[in-house]
Amino acid sequence: MLIEYDKSLLKSIDNNGNMPLHLSITTGNLSTKLVDFFLLNQANNRAVARKSQTPIHIASEKGNSDIVKLFIDQSVPLDEKDSEKFTALHLAAKNGHKNCCELLVKAGAEINAKSKREQTPLHLAAQMKYTACCSFLLESGADINTQDGDGNTAFHLVCSSMRSNKGTEGCVKCVTLLLEKNADPNILNKKNETALQAAKKAPVDVLKLFENIDVNITQTDLKGQTILHNVANRREIMVCELILNMCKRQEEDIITFVNQQDNDNFTALHCAIQSKNTESCKVLIQAGADGNICNSYGNALHMAAEFGHEDICDFLITKGIQNSMVNKNNKTALQIAAHKGYKKICKSILNRNPDVMLTDSDGNTALHLAAMEGNIQCCRLLADKNQHSVNKVNKEGKTPLHLAAISGKFDSCKVLTEKRSETWKKDNEGHSAVWYSHSQMHDEIFILLVNSSNISLIEKDVDLSDILKSAIKDNRSVVCEGLLQCGNWEEGFKSPSISENENFRSIIMKYPDLAKYILDKCQIKASEEKEERTTYNFTYLDETTPK
């Protein structure tokens, strides 16, 4: 009634740029009647709405073939394009509306029209796996091998659209159709991929369709990867086996194929290791994969150790992969595992009796690396394997204990001292692990090392008197208590004169309980030595004796 009263309402526009005609286009018979009514009242059948879509675009996208027919009967242009340069046929194909596709093609719509991304209606139908639409478009003259802006054919798109087993049946049907219609599987897209490579994540049933067609199995993409690289990281072992069988069937050199390196020097075996795919590793090794080929990580064993893949390491070790080989950092797989703290991997490699004294570019052994990271289980394994390794020095003259003390790894220091590491041993700069632990303020480590060493052997490295003095000043009570409890406690009170002992006077002021403890130790020592007093018997200093 309102429109009969005021026809200008037909041209009214809402905030989204839609006129009443645009909004009336949905699915269902009522919508058709409403659109027919608007058209009878001279509504603009070419009016542009949001996304630059005309009414026939909207009707084709919605799949209302009756409304599409109404517009065709009014001779509206069929190949006008929206903001994505989609025609009505693009939108009908993209949404699987075969009836609309049939009406549009019969009315003369351009079947190979290109969108902004240079995609045809066939590209869109294939990407969405609408087999019926694809079949109709191909029968109507759609170019099966035309490429879009990324170089993809419809075949590429349907293959790359499948990422899981969901909807496998539709994908299989669409791929089967394209193969029956002679789609070329060897056309390369801009990634240098064939349709087979585009299908690298497709379900097994889809990949099986390539078994008996003439597809280039050795083709490499822009990354230098073959389809074998692409599928080596997949959990379905049958995928890897399928590709290897295709290679054999095509009579390609299987050894060359399996050991093909990509731009980063990765083989398919490296890809399988990176994704922790033990079963693929086994299949590839059985097919002739060389585990000693190196990439940036090193050989296959280096890489498995780097990522902590225990099962893969166990398997590779049994297949004769070299455990003494070094990577670009001059590290062995054992050194990598020790540095990362992978105890089981270290144990597996150690069972093969490797040389644990091998060093990296910095002169560090596996024990150095384990100690500096606090990997105590690895430390124990390595120290037990070769007792001499605990005192092996790197290029800076540092032992594993030096590195553990510097990095504050108490547990590593404890293990190393138990294994008789030389706590007094000095590095190239003349410093011991004891000195480093104090200078880095790792107080608990300092006390541990002091208690496990003979301080008299440390010449001009640490002066316990100076250390006690600074510990009192800095309120480092752990150091104070620890020094006074160690066997060399008297070293903390070296002084030209008993009456001038500054450390004892300072302890009385800050730690009176410790002062009393010292006096008790003095009396005990005097009793043991059967002397009237000891050198440091502060009980004779009345002015310093705690009340």
HEC assignment per residue over 459-481: CCCCCHHHHHHHHHHCCCHHHHH
Tell me: do 520 and 547 sit in the same domain.
yes
CB atoms within 10 A of CB 178: 27
Amino acid 2: pLDDT = 42
Single residue among 447, 462, 477 that ends a domain in this structure: 462
Q: Tokens at residue 379, please?
A: 């430390």
What total number of domains does the chain contain?
3
Distance (Å, whole) CA 50 – CA 84: 12
Helix (H, G, I), strand (E, B) or coil at 25: coil
Do the Cβ atoms of 25 and 59 come closer than 8 Å?
yes
Residue 136 exposed, middle or buried by CB count within 10 Å (0-12, 13-18, 19+): buried
pLDDT of residue 462: 66
Judge if 477 and 542 occupy the same domain: yes
**Same structural domain for residues 394 and 444?**
yes
Q: Is residue 262 in some structural domain?
A: no
Report CA-CA distances (Å) from 261 to 20, 122, 285, 502.
61, 36, 15, 71
Asked if residue 452 and residue 434 are part of one domain, the reply reads yes
Pick from 90, 144, 92: which is nearest to 119 by CA?
A: 90
> Hey, which residues does 298 pair with through a beta bridge?
295
Q: How many Å apart are CA 274 and CA 264, to the nearest integer?
A: 13
Query: What residues in the chain have per-residue pLDDT under 50?
Result: 1-3, 5-6, 8-9, 457-458, 532-535, 539-547
Do residue 513 and residue 455 come from a single domain? no
pLDDT (0 to 100) of residue 533:
47
Tell me, what's the pLDDT at 101?
A: 98
**AA letter at 428:** N
Is the Cβ–Cβ distance between 400 and 368 less than 8 Å?
A: yes
- Give me the residues paired with residue 259 across strands: none
Residue 429 resides in a domain: yes
Residue 306 lies in a domain: yes
Q: Check if the beta carbon of residue 518 is closer than 8 Å to that of residue 482.
A: no
| CB count in 10 Å sphere of residue 104 | 30
| Cα separation of the two ends of the chain | 111
Q: Are residues 439 and 495 in the same domain?
A: no
Q: Are residues 433 and 496 in the same domain?
A: no
Domain that holds residue 489: 466-547
Radius of gyration of the chain (CA): 40
Give, for 30, the enclosing helix (H) or strand (E).
Answer: helix 29-40
Residue 484 inside a domain? The answer is yes
Nearest alpha-carbon partner for 146 in 171, 176, 110, 98: 110
In a domain, 316, yes or no: yes
Euclidean distance between CA atoms 483 and 472, whole angstroms:
11
Please check whether residue 392 lies inside any domain of the structure.
Answer: yes
Domain boundary among 405, 429, 462: 462
475 and 532 part of one domain: yes
Distances (CA, A) of 150 to 83, 91, 194: 19, 20, 13
Residues 308 and 345 in one domain: yes
pLDDT digits (tens, 9 = 90+) for 123-143: 999 999 999 999 999 999 999
Distance, in Å, from the CA atom of 82 to the CA atom of 51, rounded to the nearest integer, reads 6
One-letter amino acid of 107: A
Q: Are residues 336 and 393 in the same domain?
A: no
Q: What are phi and psi of 295, to 5 degrees?
A: -120, -160
**d(C-alpha 137, C-alpha 134), whole Å:** 5
Q: Is residue 449 part of a domain?
A: yes
Q: What pLDDT, on the 0 to 100 scale, is given for residue 89?
A: 98
Burial of 459 (0-12, 13-18, 19+ CB in 10 A): exposed
Residue 479 and residue 420 in one domain: no
Looking up residue 333, the CATH number of its domain turns out to be 1.25.40.20
Tokens 């409304």 belong to 67
At 335 the pLDDT is 98
Same domain for 528 and 505, yes or no, is: yes
Given a contact cutoff of 8 angstroms between Cβ atoms, the answer to whether 345 and 377 are in contact is no
Residue 436 lies in a domain: yes
SS (H, E, C) 375-392: CHHHHHHHHHHCHHHHHC
Beta bridge partners of 295: 298
Of 145, 94, 18, the C-alpha closest to 104 is 94
Can you give the three-state secondary structure of 269-335, one letter per residue?
HHHHHHCCCHHHHHHHHHCCCCCCCCECCECHHHHHHHHCCHHHHHHHHHCCCCCCCCCCCCCCHHH
Identify whether the C-beta of residue 273 lies closer than 8 Å to the C-beta of residue 281.
yes
